[in-house]
Structure formats: C-alpha cells, structure tokens
Chain A
C-alpha cells in the first residue's frame, strides 16, 4: 500500500449545486517520491491541495483518500497536520500581531502533543529555527514580525518552506510555490525543498510551469485537466508540455 492513496476522488464546492471540480482523480505517492502535477488554470489543482488539507469549503462526493491506510477525509484539519500533511500555500495567509516565532512554536508543539510527544524545550527550539532559517536565508528580524505580515512574495514562500523544514511532515503539498518568485528566489526556495527530500517523505508539487521542475526534479509528472489526471509519465513529460502546451489535453478532455 502506498503512503498516500487518492482513489477516484470526486468533489465540488460545498453547498453549490454546480458541477464537480474533481471528477475521479486517482494518485498514489510512496515515501521518497516526488510527484509533479501540471495542468492549465482551472483544472482543479489547487482544489486537490485544499481537499487534502481539509478545507471546509469543499464537499467530497465520492472516492477516498488514505494516509498510511487511515482515512484522511475523516480527520480534522489539525489532525491531518499532526499526521504529517503539510500544505505550502500558494498565497500564504497573514496573521497580524502573532510573531512568526510564536506561531512556529505553537504549531510544532501542538503537533507534538497530538502525537503524544514531549514539547520542545526553548533552547532546542531556538537552535532548530536558527539552523533552518539560516539555510533559507531568512533574516532573524523577519521571525519577530507578524506571520507573513509585510513580507514580499519571495519571503512568504521561503517562510512556508521554513515551516515545512521545522514541522517535518510526511507528505508535502506545494501549491504553485513558484508563483511570484524571481529566478534567485526560485533557486533558494527549490534548494530548501530539495534539502527536505528524503526516503521517508513524499511530495506533490503543483505547478503551471515547467521551470520549477528544472530545480525540483520530479520522479513522476501528471497532467491534470478538468478534474482528473489525463496523462502520467516521467520528468521528460514536463519538457514536452513546455514545448507543446496544454492544448492537446484540453481538446482530448472536451
């Protein structure tokens, strides 16, 4: 059994009579694998990431998602996080007045507590943050500021990766992490992500453009359109998409 198994997932916006956004999506992610999901705007990529994280705006109408054999869809948002689901947001949310350090520590300890682990000591926590933030080129002053408040696009994305590094999730979902990044920021963020690749950890990298995949080289590439995966392949599929665009898939699915 794979670590993360998405089977025939159907979903729509909660309370909306309208059409499904996901229409029978299936995907298996094993530890150590990096899966890229590419697709045109509106294909349902971000919806998939929100549903995996448990956002309450969506309703799953069919199919299943399991993490290590446990039903993920039955779990609360924070329970999923404690089980190791991490979503790097496309647009990280600002939380004014809550210092980033406070936030990191609250999150880390909440997860540890849910897993029955002891809280981290203050010196250990400070050491951990110092080491991880240094590698991502995050200025200590930023950690004293409110979560994502007044951060540039690049800073917000680096902060997402820092959280990922500190929380050490099992499965990372990166939603359009490259959006809004210039080439230097893209490099820093990608290096941060690559440093987190490990045999125990799976990743789903959602992106519209191939350029991110030059930096984070995936094991598998999936093309998503109109709520399902329409083609899967190796990393060379991304290059093909870059050259030919999504047009043929959009026609296929129509």
Chain B
C-alpha cells in the first residue's frame, strides 16, 4: 500500500516540532471587543442578524454560565483561563457566504494550503480523483463560515447543509426543535459557554428516507490571536436517512494558548444513521509545552428513534489539552452506538478523552474501540462510561481500550465506569497497556526499516481497527498524521 510509504516519506521530510499547518494568514478581521458580558452576547447575536428568541436563548445560557464552575475531574492541568482576556468573535472583513468570488483570496489560499479546495470544480477534480467520491465542504474561519460547497446539488436531494447562523434565520422551526435537545444549555461549563457565544458551525438536515449523496465536511481553522473558537454543529437525520460527516481542524502556531469549546449535537430518528468522523489536528504547542489549543468539546448523539445508529470515529493528534467525550444516548429500541478512537499524545500534550454509551432502550448495543498512544512527556487518559438503565433489557456493550507507551516519561491511564442496572444486559470490557514490542521492532528493523519507520509501521498496525472506520480520504490523511505526531518520539 502506498500510504505507508507516504507515511514514511512524511516522517523523513519533516523536522522535529514542525507543525505543517502552523502558518498564519494575514487578513483584516472584525472583532467583538475583548472580554465577555451580556453585551458581547448581544453583539454576536446582532452580527448574525438573529431573531429575538435566539438572543434570549443565548442570554439564558450566559446567565447560567456565570453560576457554573470549570470542571476539574479530568486528568489535565493547565493555567487558569482568563475568560475576560479573549475575543469571542472574529470575522474576516469581507462579506462571507455571498459567492465564492467574494471570499478573500487569502482565505482561499489558506484552505488550499490545508488541502481543502473550496471551489467546487477544484473539489471535483481534487477529491474525486483521490477517493472516488465527492465531498461537500463547509469551511469555518475563526468565528464564521466562509464557504459551503455543493449547496445546490445537495438541495436537490432535499439535504440542508449550511452554516448554522443561516439555518437559524432560514429554518427557525427545525433549529428551535433540535438545538439544545441533545446537549442541554445547562449541560456543562464549556457547553453552556458555547451556547452563549457560539458564532458559527454547520447545520445539516437529511429528510426522511434520503441517503445523503456525498460526504459532508467541515473544516475548522482558528486564525486570529487570542480568539476563542466556539462552533456549534447540529445534524439531524430524519427517519431512514443516512449521512456521513467529516470534520477537520487546524490552527496557526502561537506561543499563547487558544481556547476551542465546541458543541456538536446529533439526532438520529427511527432507522436513521449518522457517521461522524473527526481528524483533530489543532496546534499542540511546541516541544516544551508552550502554546497550543485548549480543546474542550462536548459531542453527543441521540439515537432517538428505534433502530437508529450513531457512529463516532476520531483521530486526535493535536491540541495541548483535549477534553472530549463523544457520546451516544441509546434511547430508541434496537439502536446502536459506536465509538472508534485514536488518541496520540507527544511532547507535553494532555489528552483526556473517551465516550459515554447510555443504554436506555431495549436491545441496544454499543461498541467502543479506543487506541491511545503516549510518547514524549505526554499524558493520555481514556475515560468512559457504559451504563444500562433498568429498562434497557438485552443491552450489549463491548469495549476494548489499548494503550501503547513510547518512552518512559509519558503516562497512559484508563478510567472506565461500567454500570449495569439490568440483569439481561451484557457488558464486556477489556483494556491493556504495554510498550511497543521490542521483538516487533527488531523484526521490522532486520528487514531494513529504521527505528522511526518501524515504529510508525507498528503503530499504524496497532490503530488499524479504527483507521478502517474512516472514509478513504481521511484514512490516508490520518495515517500520515500519526507518523508525523510521533516524530521525535523514538530515541
């Protein structure tokens, strides 16, 4: 397979500590005044021409947030975040979302550098040749969505794919019905903050019986200094619908930490299926732990209808701090939840990530495959909850979490909570932690691979079960990222 070769190439071509997405795009932007109060919330809402009900919703969240405390149960430590020293809104000065030609050429160039073609014809050429399928892209630059591709073609199929700021105006009934219905406004400190100040994100609605004709994708980019990014994504798959959604993230290299607190809500009605894939490669900070993104994300899917299915796949290689637990509420009978995760930490990164599978309906099933790789001075924690409630007759879960340690200065931790209140529920959990096998390394090196090539190859094998869950285009990208992330970890 050429991918591994590319992986190996990638390792060779990149110097230690080089983060290839770490450039900054110099464009004029418009910001809300620094700090956060009710006026900031009003400013954001006004910028988005939001209806009154939305502003009220935000203000309620903001008031609630003021009474909340930052959670401290995760195994991460970081300097206190000064919420008054951040910009909560930053937008490129040119008007966005008019037509592709109105977008600042600098932004277009940025996305091209990132490998995300925004022009539809480019997308057709570029991505079709790679993966054989087309991908519709919504690109979010700091606080606003700058371009959504293939909108018209999707509209023909009845699929709504647009920035959430637009959906609030155009489909208020849908938004009102579903926004906050999976992650309530009061859910947790970061989600509540997001509810107050989110500026953009993607909205997807796939109507009854429709199989979305292409992969949908959002690309997030933090550009501005001292800017928090708070995007909000809402995806609804109506009865019998299917959608696959991809998310990618990058940020410039900066000395100071940047805050990212997103909320993603998924709703799958009866017989619907949502597949949500993330390749998270926010800037992780330098080798001494300076700079990097603080990534506090709430992602939750609600299998609301019978026989519905939600599948999360994540490849987490970036961010200084990752605090993220994509979860499934298995409400509908016979509904299914899946969580496939690769979390790689190197340098001074700290990852605390996992999932929650809440079994409420009958004969619900869930599957968790988590692969954690810790290198350098990093800490990598899997934290998960599997629970069966009294009425979850016949619930099933299988969990496998494996951790690999590379070097003796890092830590790998596993904290699963497994709670069964139903005797017919059947849960199986297994976890292992080990170091990369000396025998495997010797074998690979005897065949001619150098230590870094051998490590990359073995690690790619270790995470294969998860990589297989990703759409083709992402799998190749993810494989490269894994090798790059482990750069410098082999002594």
Q: Which residues from chain A sit less than 8 Å from chain B, CB to CB?
A: 53-56, 76-78, 80-82, 85-87, 89, 92-99, 101-103, 105-111, 114, 119, 122, 146-147, 163, 167
Residues of B near A105 (CB, < 8 A) are 1, 4-5
Q: CB within 8 Å of A: which of B418-466?
A: 437, 439-440, 442-451, 453-454, 457-458, 460-465
The one of B2, B444, B454 that contacts A122, using a Cβ cutoff of 8 Å:
B2
CB proximity of A115 to chain B, nearest CB, Å: 10
CB proximity of A120 to chain B, nearest CB, Å: 10
Q: Using CB atoms, name the residue of chain A closest to B12.
A: A113
Count, chain B residues at interface, CB 8 A: 28
Whether A106 pairs with B443 at a CB distance below 8 angstroms is no
In the complex, what distance in Å separates the CA atom of A86 from the CA atom of B443? Answer: 11
Residues of A near B457 (CB, < 8 A) are 95, 98, 102-103, 106
In the complex, what distance in Å separates the CA atom of A94 from the CA atom of B287? Answer: 33
Residues of B near A98 (CB, < 8 A) are 457-458, 460-461, 464
In the complex, what distance in Å separates the CA atom of A55 from the CA atom of B444? Answer: 12
Whether A106 pairs with B440 at a CB distance below 8 angstroms is no
Number of A-B contacts (CB under 8 A): 96
Known contacts A95-B440, A119-B5: does B447 contact A103 (CB below 8 Å)? yes
Residues of A near B446 (CB, < 8 A) are 53-54, 77-78, 80-81, 85-87, 89
The one of B449, B463, B464, B465 that contacts A110, using a Cβ cutoff of 8 Å:
B449
Whether A106 pairs with B462 at a CB distance below 8 angstroms is no
In the complex, what distance in Å separates the CA atom of A100 from the CA atom of B460? Answer: 13
Whether A95 pairs with B2 at a CB distance below 8 angstroms is no
Known contacts A106-B5, A122-B2: does B443 contact A95 (CB below 8 Å)? yes
In the complex, what distance in Å separates the CA atom of A87 from the CA atom of B444? Answer: 11
Q: Using CB atoms, name the residue of chain B closest to A53.
A: B446
In the complex, what distance in Å separates the CA atom of A102 from the CA atom of B5? Answer: 9
In the complex, what distance in Å separates the CA atom of A98 from the CA atom of B457? Answer: 7
Known contacts A81-B446, A81-B447: does B8 contact A106 (CB below 8 Å)? yes
Known contacts A92-B443, A105-B1, A105-B4: does B461 contact A111 (CB below 8 Å)? no
In the complex, what distance in Å separates the CA atom of A86 from the CA atom of B446? Answer: 7
Q: Which residues from chain B sit less than 8 Å from chain A, CB to CB?
A: 1-2, 4-5, 8, 437, 439-440, 442-451, 453-454, 457-458, 460-465
Residues of A near B454 (CB, < 8 A) are 78
The one of A55, A82, A97 that contacts B442, using a Cβ cutoff of 8 Å:
A55
Whether A95 pairs with B458 at a CB distance below 8 angstroms is yes
In the complex, what distance in Å separates the CA atom of A108 from the CA atom of B8? Answer: 13
Whether B463 pairs with A97 at a CB distance below 8 angstroms is yes
Residues of A near B451 (CB, < 8 A) are 78
In the complex, what distance in Å separates the CA atom of A77 from the CA atom of B446? Answer: 6
In the complex, what distance in Å separates the CA atom of A119 from the CA atom of B8? Answer: 13
In the complex, what distance in Å separates the CA atom of A172 from the CA atom of B200? Answer: 62
In the complex, what distance in Å separates the CA atom of A80 from the CA atom of B446? Answer: 8
The one of B4, B443, B462 that contacts A102, using a Cβ cutoff of 8 Å:
B4
Whether A97 pairs with B464 at a CB distance below 8 angstroms is yes
CB proximity of A15 to chain B, nearest CB, Å: 14
In the complex, what distance in Å separates the CA atom of A109 from the CA atom of B1? Answer: 12
The one of A93, A95, A101, A114 that contacts B448, using a Cβ cutoff of 8 Å:
A114
Whether A110 pairs with B443 at a CB distance below 8 angstroms is no
In the complex, what distance in Å separates the CA atom of A94 from the CA atom of B457? Answer: 13
In the complex, what distance in Å separates the CA atom of A96 from the CA atom of B457? Answer: 10
CB proximity of B164 to chain A, nearest CB, Å: 38
Q: Using CB atoms, name the residue of chain A closest to B463.
A: A97
In the complex, what distance in Å separates the CA atom of A111 from the CA atom of B440? Answer: 18
Q: Using CB atoms, name the residue of chain B closest to A163.
A: B447
Q: Using CB atoms, name the residue of chain A closest to B466.
A: A97
In the complex, what distance in Å separates the CA atom of A105 from the CA atom of B458? Answer: 14
Residues of B near A78 (CB, < 8 A) are 445-446, 448-451, 454
